[in-house]
Amino acid sequence: GNSVTQMEGPVTLSEEAFLTINCTYTATGYPSLFWYVQYPGEGLQLLLKATKADDKGSNKGFEATYRKETTSFHLEKGSVQVSDSAVYFCALNSGGSNYKLTFGKGTLLTVNP
Amino acid sequence: EAQVTQNPRYLITVTGKKLTVTCSQNMNHEYMSWYRQDPGLGLRQIYYSMNVEVTDKGDVPEGYKVSRKEKRNFPLILESPSPNQTSLYFCASSLLFLGGSNSPLHFGNGTRLTVT
């Protein structure tokens, strides 16, 4: 079955540091890949997505590239801010009759001023 | 404002006392789904619905029921709650679910349920 593995947290960074959160996946076919973000007390919001190999998703300074050869979709940001503190979830959907997102366990990011 | 609304936000109940968590969306979305979020397990799908009167089981449906009598509402029903159903629950909706192409999931703010 499908699965998503993302790096264990928590991750603590200083403001303006470089961020990488690793995500690898196992899936049949050619899945679509997503990063969702959950701010404290809120539901998840779509951060970015990529639907085919070598696509780069980007939003709010975050980027992730769909690497089929390494089955990875690592999240990066060049300079984090305190407001980026949240839980980040990598997710996939393998399409066809698969009507759900398969999520990783989430990575808590704390950015200190 | 486009949104998914869940109620209540917090609920404490006792084993065996039937409860319903409501979910409503105002975006005319066809697809709706329930997830539970548990520490170290991420989010797992409970049930989903492709449209009115069309529902199906997700990964962890045991102990839950749903109904989709109207497009905007998708309540989650726990007929006889047990302590292992203590969790954070999220309702989500999407215009269509075409393998996650251009229809992102919109999530509610969650319902924290405690069953004692």
Span A10-60, pLDDT tens digits: 999 999 999 999 999 999 878 999 999 999 988 899 999 998 899 999 999
**Pairing of the two strands B31-38 and A56-59:** unpaired
Q: What is the pLDDT of residue B100?
A: 52
* CB within 8 Å: B4 and A43: yes
**Burial (CB count <10 Å: 0-12, 13-18, 19+), residue B63:** middle
The gap between the terminal CA atoms of chain A, to the nearest Å, is 41
Report the number of secondary-structure helices (H) and strands (E) in chain B: 0, 11
Give the number of A-B residue pairs with CB atoms closer than 8 Å: 64
Mean pLDDT, residues A57-68? 96
* CB within 8 Å: B107 and A44: yes
Percent of chain A scored above 70 by pLDDT?
Answer: 99
Q: What is the pLDDT of residue B101?
A: 54
Give pLDDT < 70 ranges for chain B: 98-102
Q: What are phi and psi of A13, to 5 degrees?
A: -130, 160
* CB within 8 Å: B56 and A98: no
Q: List A110's β-bridge partners, or say none.
A: A12
Q: What is the pLDDT of residue B70?
A: 96
Q: What is the pLDDT of residue B98?
A: 58
* CB within 8 Å: A45 and B107: yes
**Average pLDDT in chain A:** 93
Residues of B in contact with A49 (CB under 8 A): 100, 104
Residues of A in contact with B92 (CB under 8 A): 43-44
